[in-house]
Amino acid sequence: MARDGVVLEVDAVSRSFGALAALTKVSLTVRADQVFSVIGPNGAGKSTLFNVIAGIHVPTGGRVRYEGREISGLAPDAINRLGIAKTFQITNIFPEISVFENVRVAAQSRARESGRLTSLWRLPDVGDAVTELLTSFGLTDKRDELAENLSHGEQRYLEICLALATEPTLLLLDEPTAGMTPGETRAATALIRRIASARGLTVLLIEHDMSVVMGISDRIAVLHFGEKIAEGSPDEIRSDPRVIEAYLGPAEA
């Protein structure tokens, strides 16, 4: 249960790879029902931060708490079962099975019976739940298509469906609009906001498209060379001189 509305606490987290400090004492507090975006130039440490939260990397300093429980060092599958789901910068789907089967398999990862995965075909309403997800993302007509035959934008939508099928309360989206057309990006932005609101989801987002970030975020944190240099509302971030310098470089004299 979220304590005082706090879903995720990243407390002075550092992560090094040999001599390279990818993150240095980064702290974030993400509250329930927020869309919280993390931005920064390439190499700022954004994906490393997500991987620490998701259990792919163990922090070399600091800790991560989810709903008041420390999760630093837990395996990714254990973190997922607690209610955190993550999409990836590169689409991560099962290309050689159908769209419907992709989502069904993801849902199966949440179904446990006596410590074992149980067949979703024996669980009530699973087909309806999968169909509902596909409908939300406009994929109903593609349910029997092989996932590899979907367009890039549709594959990105499918990956979000896979994450949602695990019934998370915190959804980590790593550049969900990467490679989309402007029209697909606008549609995806509206859809993410609508789905988050309808499902009571908290969303932590990495995104390079500033129109997406400014249009969808309740709060934004900015990383630069592995350190957090700013945090605030979209209006505050847009006018922050440290952010402007990090993205555009210092003004010429």
Query: Which is nearest to 175 in space by CA: 63, 73, 92?
Result: 92
Whole-number pLDDT of residue 90: 53
CB of 170 within 8 A of CB of 7?
yes
Distant-in-sequence, close-in-space partners of 88: CB < 8 Å, separation ≥ 6: 159, 174
Query: Which is nearest to 102 in space by CA: 55, 152, 142?
Result: 142
Whole-number pLDDT of residue 246: 79
Q: Which residues of the chain have pLDDT under 50?
A: 112-121, 251-253
CB of 203 within 8 A of CB of 173?
yes
Q: Summarize pLDDT for 14-60 with one digit per residue, the tens.
A: 999 999 999 999 999 999 999 999 999 888 999 999 999 999 999 99
Whole-number pLDDT of residue 3: 63
Handedness of CA 95, 97, 102, 106 (dihedral sign): negative
What's this model's pTM, rounded to 2 decimal places?
A: 0.86
d(CA 71, CA 249): 37
d(CA 146, CA 131): 16
Give SS3 for 100: helix
Give SS3 for 200: coil
d(CA 181, CA 64): 35
Q: Which amino acid is at 97?
A: I
d(CA 113, CA 208): 41
